Chains A and B, each alone.
Chain A
Amino acid sequence: MTRKQKKMVVRIAASVLLLVGAVLVPYEGVWRFALFLPAYFVIGWDVLWKAARNIAHGQVFDENFLMALATVGAFCTGFFGEGEYPEAVFVMVFYQVGELFQSYAVGKSRKSIAALMDIRPDSANVEREGKLVPVDPEEVAVGDTITVKAGEKVPLDGVVLEGTSLVNTSALTGESVPRRVAPGDDVISGCVNQSGLLRVRVTKAYEESTVAKILDLVENASAKKARAENFITRFARYYTPVVVLCAAVLAIVPPLFLGGWAGWVEKALIFLVVSCPCALVISVPLSFFGGIGGASRQGILVKGGNYLETLANTEVVVFDKTGTLTKGVFNVTAIHPEECSERGLLELAALAESYSDHPISKSLKEAWGKELDTSRVGRVEELSGRGVRAQVDGRTVCAGNDTFMEEIGVKWHPCHHVGTTVHVAVDGKYIGHLVISDEIKPDARDAIAALKAQGVTKTVMLTGDARAVGEQVARDLGLDQVYTQLLPGDKVAKVEALLKEKSRKGKLAFVGDGINDAPVLSRADIGIAMGALGSDAAIEAADIVLMDDKPSKIAKAMEISKRTLGIVRQNIVFALGVKLLVLALTPFGLSNMWEAVFADVGVTVIAILNASRALQAGRK
């Protein structure tokens, strides 16, 4: 509890004691009125003061004004004989208790979210002239060497120079199995070094480091508001003035015909107390905030409440294959030469692809296993979605897929092995092919099944790969549709076609690894990027970022979003329901001030408690 909150506890206790005393003393008339004043002022002076001050600033209809008016009004009706003084004081006490509880509950949720985001490093140990100097991570330059002791957070992104250790990435990914790092490996800021001492060369400045990016993203998530939040803001703008107007009408019109002013004024006061929209204004953003916080603990970064809302209505999920459903690690599984030796074919293919960073090229180089003499290679041309054309030992070597062979007019033949086939032609003559296959991620199958359970009606896979490969993977995973042999541009067109096919209310999510698919990520209703550890492009382009490579997290994210939206809906229905009920009963004299205060503060507190459940999202 903060000091302010403790003070309030004392004031509430004092006021209640004074109130009990006043009730017990048997005075009548003006003296009785005077007896209740101390109790009232102890609890309500700040409300009265704020109300007066805000009116002076031209701010009418705020909570303070309404409570002041309601309690002073209750005092007046008491003075003229019909109401009771204790009621006026107790309404104020109840209101303050509610406010106190509300500030306590919000403070608590705020703290638990802050704890969740406790990945910000406090300092970095930099080597300067042979000595270790602790400095602010923001002051460390790229190229500096830092030391990370066991138990410390890695403050900046870098490469390990010395030492081996286990690092815990759970704060970033929700993954509890620590990662082993050795010299040459990348380490990411925000991870905790668990065992050994690590010397790390910094590769990114603090602002560019993973931890700064994630914090920025999560902190700004509340700026992108969900439709439900905007609805509440708009609603609040009209609700309060309308209810206040009704109160005015209720206080003036019926007594003109029926008489009994005090009774109608009390009814009007009840209207005023119910007119505050606080239960909604606090609990709805709090639910989204909690949902986003809970998701981030699972390694799912959601960039805004609006995306959480969209995700819950996802009907179609479109996957990229490589790196998303499969590991993106290729192995050469077959070598079928036509006219040369197996090693010869592999060497030629590896040389041709030696300048490329494509996963296929990497796997060829890996399969070759030895140093490549790149001086033998000249004039390399990379043809996106087709292959590579390069000069090797003065001959033109073309390595690529079926389409590429067709284009250069080389006669080729398909392979009976399922996988990505790389055909090789030298000076326009076919010399054979190699087959490379990718491994399906272990949780991919379950991920698709889990999505179906979450109400996704269609799962689609897009790939640039050959038909046989794509269809094999789709069959293994149980996907509904598969489109193969797509160029990067075709993927956008396919997603657009799928967007037209789906129902109007359903949403389409695209899941990719952030490499080459930024346009598709932004074209889909919701873009989900995988494996953000290390990929800046993914963090930039996507709406939701999965910190680890697990496709099963998509269903988890949907579950969290649905739960959060459910809580939001419960709160809206409950708060509005209670308020409208009290409003409806009031003109008939079926409600009293107690119920009105409950409809205001009580409902707010219940809504906050319900909203804080959203924070538990994903916790098992």
Chain B
Amino acid sequence: MKKTYKLTDLDCAHCAAKMETAIKKIDGVNDATVSFLTQKLTLDADDSRWEDILKQIVKACKRIEPDCVIHL
């Protein structure tokens, strides 16, 4: 499944790149892009573990850029 989420307060391009790398490393994620310009997260991941993967993503983002909120 592929889905897009809106991000707010993503203030630095470098952090966006770091978030993207971290999300891609999560097990079950096929592909992910964090666009600093469109302020969007595009996620392509395993359907059956979707909720679990989302939780891990939120956790990873909290660590890298605590100000950034993912609108689920």
Closest to A223 in B: B33
Question: Are B12 and A278 in contact, with the CB atoms below 8 A?
Answer: yes
Decide yes or no: A57 and B66 within 8 Å by CB, A219-B38, A222-B33, A222-B38 being known contacts.
Answer: yes
Decide yes or no: A222 and B12 within 8 Å by CB, A57-B63, A233-B17 being known contacts.
Answer: no
Question: Are A59 and B11 in contact, with the CB atoms below 8 A?
Answer: no
- A499 within 8 Å of B (CB atoms): no
- Taken together as a complex, chains A and B put the C-alpha atoms of A289 and B36 apart, in Å, by 11
Encode A55-83 as 1/0 by CB contact (under 8 A) with B.
Answer: 00111001100000000000000000000
- B29 within 8 Å of A (CB atoms): no
Question: Are A222 and B35 in contact, with the CB atoms below 8 A?
Answer: yes
Question: Are B14 and A281 in contact, with the CB atoms below 8 A?
Answer: yes
Decide yes or no: A58 and B63 within 8 Å by CB, A281-B14, A282-B13 being known contacts.
Answer: yes
Question: Are A278 and B14 in contact, with the CB atoms below 8 A?
Answer: yes
- Taken together as a complex, chains A and B put the C-alpha atoms of A289 and B15 apart, in Å, by 18
Question: Are A281 and B63 in contact, with the CB atoms below 8 A?
Answer: no
- Interface residues in A83-124 by Cβ distance below 8 A to B read 103, 106, 109-110, 113
Shortest beta-carbon distance from A165 to chain B in Å = 34
- A276 within 8 Å of B (CB atoms): yes
> Which of under 10, 10 to 19, 20 to 34, or 35 or more describes the interface residues of B?
20 to 34
- A277 within 8 Å of B (CB atoms): yes
- Taken together as a complex, chains A and B put the C-alpha atoms of A276 and B38 apart, in Å, by 22
Encode B15-40 as 1/0 by CB contact (under 8 A) with A.
Answer: 10110000000000000010111111
Question: Are B63 and A278 in contact, with the CB atoms below 8 A?
Answer: no
- A472 within 8 Å of B (CB atoms): no
| Interface of A: prevailing SS | helix
Partner of A236, one of B17, B37, B39, B42: B17
Decide yes or no: A285 and B36 within 8 Å by CB, A59-B64, A103-B11 being known contacts.
Answer: yes
> Which of under 10, 10 to 19, 20 to 34, or 35 or more describes the interface residues of A?
20 to 34
- A6 within 8 Å of B (CB atoms): no
Question: Are A278 and B13 in contact, with the CB atoms below 8 A?
Answer: yes
The 6 A-B residue pairs with the shortest CB-CB distance, nearest first, are: A282-B13, A281-B13, A223-B33, A57-B63, A222-B35, A289-B37
Query: Which residues of B approach A to under 8 Å, CB–CB?
Result: 4, 11-15, 17-18, 33, 35-40, 42, 62-64, 66
29 cross-chain CB contacts under 8 A: A57-B64, A58-B63, A59-B64, A62-B14, A62-B15, A103-B11, A106-B36, A109-B37, A110-B38, A110-B39, A113-B37, A219-B4, A219-B38, A222-B33, A222-B35, A222-B37, A222-B38, A236-B17, A276-B14, A277-B14, A278-B12, A278-B14, A281-B17, A282-B36, A285-B13, A285-B35, A285-B36, A285-B37, A289-B38
Given contacts A106-B36, A110-B37, 19 further A-B contacts (CB under 8 A): A57-B63, A62-B14, A63-B12, A63-B14, A109-B37, A110-B38, A110-B39, A220-B42, A222-B37, A222-B38, A223-B33, A223-B35, A278-B12, A278-B14, A282-B13, A282-B36, A285-B13, A285-B37, A286-B37
